[in-house]
Each structure stands twice: as C-alpha cells, then as structure tokens.
Amino acid sequence: MAEAERIIGTPDIPEAEGHEGAEPEQADGKVSPEAAEPAGQDAGDAGDAENGEATVDRSPGTRRRRIILLFSVAVLAYLLDLGSKMLVVAKLEHQEPIEIFGDWLRFDAIRNAGAAFGLGEAFTIIFTIIAATVIVVIARLARKLYSLPWAIALGLLLGGALGNLTDRIFRSPGVFEGAVVDFIAPAHFAVFNLADSAIVCGGILIVLLSFKGLDPDGTVHKD
C-alpha cells in the first residue's frame, strides 16, 4: 500500500486555504474585522426590519393590487348604498316604518339635508364640498398606497363619500343641495344610511391604524 502511494503520489490538500469561501482567521482564532463586517450589515438590516422599513414590499405590482382593492371596496360600498336607497325610495318612502327588532331597530325613510346622522342641515353645500375634497385626497393617497388595511379603510371612505355625494348632486331640491336618503333608525339614535356606516367604519379603522403607527405606504413607526 505504501509502495502504491509512493508511485501514484498523494494529492495536495491546501490546508491553508481551507474550505472554499471560508473566512480568514487570525493566529489567536478570532475572525478578522473584514470578515466580521457582513455580520454587522445583517444586524443593521434586522434592525430596519424591526422598525418596519425593510419588510415593506414597494413593488409596482403590490401598489397596483392595493389600488385595485381600494376601488373594489369603494365600488362595493357605493353599490350597496345606492341599491338600498333606490329600494327605500321605491318601497318605503311615504309609508309606515318597518320594525326590524321591535323598538330597537326600524327602517324609516327620511330625507336629510345635513351631514351624517342628520347633523348640520343648514350647511348642505359645505358638506358637498367636503365630500368632494375627501375623494380627491383619497385619490392622491392611492399613489403611495402599499398597506392592505389602509386600502380597505380608504375604500370604505371613498365608497361612502361617493354614495352621499350622489344624493347631493342628483336628488331634490337641486344640484349640490340634494337631501340624502336615510333609513336605518336605531332606538335613541339618529337615522343614517349605508354610506354613513361605511364612512364611520373607515374612519375608525384609520384611527386604529394611526394609533398602531402604520402609514399608507406600509411603514410602521414605533414610539
């Protein structure tokens, strides 16, 4: 066996080089500062991830999906509000209220010239301008939208604002002064509609997201 190794020869093993890609070590067994540098970078990336900055997917595809979700929620909220108002005007207006849960909840069609829940009837044109402004602001926010919860919240706001704005424009007594159709009448509470509900739900969701430090672009701020 020894004779065969003498004839064939023993292959050289570069012990100094070690395994391919191994980091060089100093004489005392410690890793050199150059070798430790990538680990420091990874630690920094992990810190950014904890702050919610490195984990946000800001690709065009993500933004496009969030915008589609926003407008899908808005269209759904708008169609539900519009359909319910058309049904109420055709079947319930000038009729006796319909009791749903006894005295706790009724359907009672009324015309509201004010804001949500019958507030501020003397400022119909002001509320019309506010609703139009909300729609413009939401459209501008959509350009940097990467957060799924924010897409849902803004969609609810947009659908509700469009629902009531449609009444302001197309219902009597005139353009931008039209009275909104309300019909959901809980006991000891103001009468409202589905658009009002969408606006309130969207507003509550935005408050919760802001409280948690989540921005529309997906960035999380931790105080």
Q: Is 196 a catalytic residue?
A: yes
Structure pTM?
0.72
Residue range 117-129: mean pLDDT, rounded: 64
Mean pLDDT calculated for residue range 206-213: 94
Q: Which residue has the higher pLDDT, 52 or 83?
A: 83
- Catalytically annotated residue among 45, 57, 182, 223: 182
Query: Of 6-10, 94-98, 193-197, where does mean pLDDT reach its minimum?
Result: 6-10
CB contact at 8 A, 199 and 116 = yes
Answer yes or no: is pLDDT of 124 > 90.
no
Cβ neighbours of residue 111 closer than 8 Å, sequence gap 6 or more: 171, 179, 180, 181, 182
Is 182 one of the annotated active-site residues of the chain?
yes
Among 56-70, 78-92, 193-207, the least confident range:
56-70
Segment 174-182 mean pLDDT: 86
Question: 71-116: per-residue pLDDT in tens?
Answer: 999 999 999 999 999 999 999 999 999 999 888 999 999 998 765 5
Q: What is the pLDDT of residue 149?
A: 96
Query: Which residue type does 87 have?
Result: L
Helices 194-211/60-91 angle, 10° precision:
150
Active-site hit among 12, 45, 57, 196 = 196
CA distances from 64 to 53, 57, 124 (A): 20, 12, 35
Q: Which range, of 55-64, 104-113, 186-195, averages the lowest pLDDT?
A: 55-64
Q: What is the chain's mean pLDDT, rounded?
A: 79
What angle do the packed helices 124-141 and 148-170 form, to 10 degrees?
A: 150
Q: What is the per-residue pLDDT for 57?
A: 82
**173 preceded by a cis bond (ω within 30 of 0):** yes
pLDDT tens digits, residue range 130-158? 888 999 999 888 989 999 999 999 999 99
